[in-house]
Structure 1
Amino acid sequence: MTIAFFQKLAQFLNQGAATLATVVDITGSVPREIGAKILVNDRGEVFDTIGGGAGEAKVIRHALEVLKTGDSQFVEIDLSGAAHRQVQGVCGGMMRVWLARWQGEAAIALVRETIETLQAGKSLTLVTPYDSGTVPYLLDHPVQADRLLENAFVELLHPAPILLIIGAGHCGIQLAKVAQLLDFQVMVQDDRPDWANPVRYPNVARIFTESAQDVIAQLGHWSHLYAALVTRGFQYDIQALRALLALPMPCHYIGMIGSQKRVQRVLKAIELELHLARARSQSPIIYAPIGLDIGALTPAEIAVSIAAELVMVRRGGSGYPLSVI
């Protein structure tokens, strides 16, 4: 989950109680993954989604009951489409959702610690017991993956990935807008203050006007780093790529804008760095030219193309059309 989700939870808790509903098990085709969450407060306000439709409406109804009684419960969402059962959809699968009321100083302190840890770029483990009498808590050590236990749901929470946009031109402006919708922590680097400034980038996490090499060195400790090179010239690509390939922890994603000719020239210039990275058992994939082929021409369309590729890499998608017809 994102920092924004826990910030909203903190806001709700400062105003009263809230029900936190978490998808803890799924089978078959469903609209959301294990760990997806939704918040409902005692004024009936809802934040985020576990898939919408009749299934989510059912969870919201039960969440309001949990707020009144304090009794945690499981809610089953039947999306099988079976004619002989009362179903909430026809996706084909099932979702199991755990609903628990959060309230009071202990819950506020836990949420505050969660936010501070994620903002520091660290992962943490949240344990949600399936017992109304036991409050959620954080573990001192991480677990390997989200998993369903017999008496508790244990999930590893990661900080929002950083998207470092190198180059603050027209494509960078549009990419920042789209990436923020995708819950990336967006940072921008360009040595031109006339371009890299809060007027052009009003909502990004950081703006850097130092060299790309210096900025990359500062962010090298971050475990979820994505880099999009949308620079004004291939020499800037070469400088940035050399710094990215030298990081001790490889980037999750490196993408570079440019024509086939420009891309080949840059890759030729960094052959040694690529060889050294592979010798360190790091096999970086440089997505160049950047983005998925959707026929993009304008800066906004190019930003959508890049963002689609970012999601593909982050979620493990194929990039192929979903159409079955």
Structure 2
Amino acid sequence: MIEELERVYEAALEAIRRGEPAAVATVIEARGSTPREAGAKMLVYADGRTVGTVGGGPPEAWVIEEARAALVEGQPRVLQYQPVGQEGRAIDACGENMRFLIEVLLPRPTLLIIGAGHIGQAVAELGAFLGYRIAVLDERAEMVTPERFPQADVLLAGPLDEQLRNFPLTEQTYAALVTPHHSRDEKALAVLAEQPVAYVGLIGSRRRTQATFKRARAMGVPDEFLARVHTPIGLDIGAETPREIALSIVAEVLAVQRGKPPGRMERQ
């Protein structure tokens, strides 16, 4: 059992590091003939994958279902397994005397900074100060280093679309595209459009943004998604320097996170 617990704990820590939501299901009471004793644990991911077991069979399938629901709500819950006849669940005599605790592991909101230039550095610095989990992505490996981004939790280098497809993008992800050139931003937008990210902001003038959106549409990115992209990114505070621009960006992200979307900047 110790080895299994180690696997569950290690997987839980790795999920937190990746910024991936997960839930820990623990047997808190096991009376009579039950498949697992109190203390047994199982990690459940949002997509239903698991690490460990709380006994298998109908009780475990039900716990997985409840754990996924708890992740959606973001709230823990205590469960009593009920046999058939009570809410119609399948009977399993070995599991009807079991109670479970579901603990939800929601990561810190992730500020995903796409573009590792001066503005990206300033956004990372301010975002980390406010408690965001910082992830930085750039195609230029020499730009994405611990020396340039000491606050970053995750550093990614390579083609934007490939890296984004391998990065957990959730409802807790806030993506800021601050690349120096828009030549590949449409590839990033195409990936982000397929995921439930909370926020997407794009730096640039009206002309550059329109060109990026045109290429994105050609790749099949829907207009409904493009209409939700905050561009020009950030609040209109008259920002000029990289740190001032970073302040306007992070302030907009925070406003969206708190459910108070501000007015957008006027395009130039």
Which bracket does the TM-score occupy, shorter chain normalised? 0.5 to 0.7
For 1:235 and 1:293, locate their aligned partners in 2 and report how far apart those are by CA, in whole Å: 25
Partner of 1:53: none
Counterpart among 235, 243, 254 of residue 292 in structure 1? 235
Whether the 8 Å CA contact 1:126–1:157 is kept in 2: the answer is no
Q: What displacement does 1:291 show?
A: 0.6
Is 1:306 aligned with 2:249? yes
Where do residues 156-305 of structure 1 align in structure 2 (5 Å cutoff)? 156-220=104-168, 222-245=170-193, 247=194, 249-273=195-219, 276=222, 278=224, 285-305=228-248
User: Whose RCO is larger (CA < 8 A, sep 6+)?
Assistant: 2
Return the alpha-carbon distance in structure 2 between the equivalents of residues 297 and 283 of structure 1.
Answer: 26
1:53-76 CA-to-partner distances (Å, cap 9, x unmatched) read xxxxxxxxxxxxxxxxxxxxxxxx
Tell me the distance in 1 between the aligned counterparts of 2:257 and 2:240: 24
Q: CA deviation at 1:206?
A: 2.0
Deviation at 1:160, TM superposition (A): 2.0
Displacement of 1:214 in angstroms is 1.2
**Equivalent position amino acid for 2:217 in 1:** E
Structure 1 residues 169 and 275: CA distance shift in structure 2, 3 A = closer
SS in 1 for 2:134: strand
SS at structure 1 position matched to 2:143: coil
Contact 1:238 1:269 in 2 (8 A): yes
Structure 1 window deviating more from structure 2 (306-315 vs 215-224): it is 215-224
Q: State the TM-score, normalizing by the size of structure 1.
A: 0.51
Q: Is the 8 A contact 1:250 1:284 kept in 2?
A: no
Structure-2 separation of matches of 1:148 and 1:194: 43
2:73 to 139, 145, 155: 145
String of CA shifts for 1:72-92, please: whole Å, max 9, x gaps. Answer: xxxxxxxxxxxxxxxxxxxxx
* 2-structure distance, mates of 1:161, 1:284: 23
Normalising by the residue count of structure 2, what TM-score does the alignment of the two structures yield? Answer: 0.61
RMSD: 3.7
CA distance in 2, matches of 1:215, 1:314: 24
- 2: CA distance, partners of 1:182 / 1:275: 32
Q: Secondary structure at the match of 1:262?
A: helix
CA distances 1:119-173 after superposition (whole Å, capped 9, x unpaired)? 351233799xxxxxxxxx9986142436799xxxx98541123222111110000
Alpha-carbon distance change, 164 to 147 in structure 1, aligned in 2, over 3 angstroms: closer
1:124 and 2:67 matched: no
Structure 2 match to 1:102: none
Would you say the 8 A contact 1:161–1:184 is kept in 2?
yes
Change in Cα spacing, 1:273 to 1:225, as seen in structure 2 (3 Å) is farther
Q: Distance in 2 between matches of 1:207 and 1:146?
A: 27
Q: Distance in 2 between matches of 1:222 and 1:211?
A: 20
Distance 1:314 1:173, change over 3 A: same
- One-letter identity of the residue aligned with 1:256: L
Instruction: Report if the CA contact (8 A) 2:176-2:202 is conserved.
Output: yes
**207 and 270 in structure 1: CA distance in 2 versus 1, 3 angstrom threshold:** same
Give unpaired runs (5+ residues) of structure 1: 1-109, 128-136, 321-325
Q: How many Å apart are 1:116 and its aligned residue?
A: 5.1
| Residues 1:197 and 1:291: Cα distance change in structure 2 (over 3 Å) | same
Work out the percentage of aligned pairs sharing the same amino acid: 32
